C-alpha cells in the first residue's frame, strides 16, 4: 500500500481517470489517502478519513512513505476554521491560500512540515463564540463554522467556500467539531439516531430529503427553530417543516423531507 497527501487548496476527485470525468469530491490541503490503482496519468485513491474513492491526477499527487503517513495521522492537527488561511512555502517563498476544513500539523514557532515541504503560517486569533440561551458550546462551534459558508455557490463535488455541495457542506461542518461523516448524503443518512418529530429537532440535527423515487438526494443542518442551513444554488437558510424545505423567495417547497438524524448529544 502506498500513500499520499494533498498539498493544493483543493484537488478534484473524479469518477474516472479523465479530466472530462465528473468531479465527485475534492481533496483539501492536508488530507491523506491510500493509492489503490495507478495508470500513466491517474491514481485511484481512497480518502483516509471517510474512505471515499475516486481518481486524482498524478500531477497532484505528493507521495508519503509508510512511516510519514503513520506519523502524520497520529499527530495532532490544526483544522482551519476560517474561510481561507495563507501559507508560505519556505523553499519557494510562494504564498497561497488554503480553505476552511483544511488541516496540517500543529505549527511550532510558526512553521510545520508536510509532504517534504516546510511551510510558514500565522494562525488567526480565536474569536469568542456567540452565546445563546439554551445552545451548548458544541452547537455554537458548529454554527460558527456553518455560517462561514453562507452565500458560497453550489458546486457538485465541491468542498470549499468557493463552491460546495450539500453533503460536502454537512461533512465539512461536522468535521470541524471532530465528527467524521461519509461523503455523500445517501451514506450520511445511515449515521446517528432518528428524530421522530420536527418539533423535537435541535441545532445540529441533520435533515435528509428524497426525490420522487424515494432516493436520498439532499441534506442540510438544523440551525434554529424550523430553520435549516444547506447548499442549494448557494449556501442559505430556509424554513423547514414536516413536509420539507419551504423557499420564501420561490413561494414553494423545494425539497421533500425523508428523515432527521441526531449525530451528537
Q: How far is CA 57 from CA 44, 82, 189, 224, in A?
A: 9, 27, 30, 41
Predicted local distance difference test score (pLDDT) of residue 161 = 98
Q: Which three cell numbers stand for residue 165?
A: 455541495
Q: How far is CA 107 from CA 27, 41, 123, 132, 178, in A?
A: 21, 33, 9, 32, 19
Query: What is the rounded distance in angstroms from the CA atom of residue 254 to the CA atom of residue 265?
Result: 29
| Pick from 85-89, 182-186, 248-252: least confident | 248-252
Query: What is the rounded distance in angstroms from the CA atom of residue 256 to the CA atom of residue 245?
Result: 7
Mean pLDDT for 142-169 is 97
Predicted local distance difference test score (pLDDT) of residue 1 = 86
Q: Which three cell numbers stand for residue 107?
A: 505549527
Quick one: which H or E segment has residue 170?
helix 166-175
Q: Which three cell numbers stand for residue 171?
A: 461533512
User: How sure is the predictor about 163, in pLDDT bands with cuts at 50, 70 and 90?
Assistant: very high
Predicted local distance difference test score (pLDDT) of residue 16 = 98
Query: What is the rounded distance in angstroms from the CA atom of residue 137 to the CA atom of residue 129?
Result: 8
Residues of the chain within CATH 3.90.1720.10 domain(s) are 137-262
Mean pLDDT for 137-143 is 95
What 3-state DSSP class applies to 9? coil
CATH architecture group of domain 137-262: Alpha-Beta Complex (3.90)
Strand partners, 52: none
pLDDT at residue 262 greater than cutoff 80: yes
| 122 CB-contact burial (10 Å; exposed 0-12 / middle 13-18 / buried 19+) | exposed
Query: What is the rounded distance in angstroms from the CA atom of residue 255 to the CA atom of residue 218?
Result: 8
Average pLDDT of the residues of the chain: 96
Q: Which three cell numbers stand for residue 138?
A: 458544541
Predicted local distance difference test score (pLDDT) of residue 131 = 76
| Pick from 165-169, 188-192, 245-249: least confident | 245-249
Q: What are the phi and psi torsion angles at 254 (to 5°)?
A: -110, -20
Predicted local distance difference test score (pLDDT) of residue 36 = 98
Predicted local distance difference test score (pLDDT) of residue 128 = 77
**Inter-helix orientation angle 137-147/166-175, to 10°:** 140
pLDDT digits (tens, 9 = 90+) for 106-135: 999 999 999 999 999 999 988 777 777 788
Query: What is the rounded distance in angstroms from the CA atom of residue 204 to the CA atom of residue 198?
Result: 13
Contact 59, 180 (CB under 8 A): no
Predicted local distance difference test score (pLDDT) of residue 134 = 81
Query: What is the rounded distance in angstroms from the CA atom of residue 139 to the CA atom of residue 98?
Result: 25
Residues of the chain within CATH 2.30.30.40 domain(s) are 2-121
CATH architecture group of domain 2-121: Roll (2.30)
Mean pLDDT for 65-77 is 95
Lookup result for grid cell 483544511: 102
Mean pLDDT for 93-105 is 97
As separate numbers, helices (DSSP H) first and strands (DSSP E) second, the chain gives 4, 22
Predicted local distance difference test score (pLDDT) of residue 54 = 98
DSSP code at position 152: P
Contact 223, 169 (CB under 8 A): no
Amino acid at each position: 500500500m502506498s500513500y499520499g497527501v494533498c498539498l493544493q487548496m483543493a484537488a478534484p476527485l473524479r469518477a474516472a481517470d479523465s479530466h472530462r470525468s465528473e468531479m465527485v469530491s475534492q481533496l483539501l490541503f492536508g488530507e491523506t489517502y491510500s493509492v489503490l490503482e495507478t495508470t500513466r496519468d491517474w491514481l485511484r485513491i481512497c480518502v483516509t478519513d471517510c474512505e471515499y474513492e475516486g481518481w486524482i491526477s498524478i500531477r497532484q499527487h505528493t507521495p508519503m512513505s509508510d512511516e510519514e503517513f503513520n506519523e502524520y495521522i497520529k499527530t495532532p492537527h490544526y483544522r482551519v476554521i476560517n474561510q481561507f488561511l495563507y501559507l508560505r512555502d519556505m523553499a519557494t517563498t510562494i504564498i497561497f491560500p488554503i480553505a476552511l476544513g483544511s488541516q496540517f500539523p500543529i505549527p511550532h514557532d510558526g512553521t510545520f512540515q508536510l509532504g517534504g515541504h516546510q511551510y510558514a503560517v500565522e494562525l488567526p486569533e480565536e474569536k469568542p463564540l456567540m452565546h445563546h440561551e439554551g445552545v451548548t458550546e458544541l452547537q455554537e462551534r458548529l454554527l460558527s463554522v456553518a455560517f462561514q459558508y453562507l452565500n458560497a455557490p453550489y458546486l457538485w463535488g465541491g468542498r470549499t467556500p468557493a463552491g460546495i455541495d450539500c453533503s460536502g457542506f454537512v461533512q465539512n461542518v461536522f468535521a470541524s467539531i471532530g465528527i467524521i461523516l461519509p461523503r455523500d448524503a445517501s451514506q450520511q443518512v445511515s449515521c446517528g439516531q432518528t428524530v421522530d418529530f420536527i418539533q423535537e429537532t435541535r441545532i445540529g440535527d441533520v435533515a435528509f430529503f428524497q426525490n420522487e423515487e424515494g432516493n436520498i438526494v439532499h441534506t442540510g443542518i438544523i440551525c434554529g427553530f424550523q430553520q435549516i442551513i444547506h447548499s442549494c444554488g448557494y449556501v442559505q437558510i430556509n424554513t423547514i417543516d414536516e413536509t420539507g424545505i419551504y423557499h420564501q423567495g420561490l413561494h414553494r417547497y423545494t425539497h421533500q423531507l425523508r428523515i432527521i438524524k441526531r449525530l451528537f448529544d
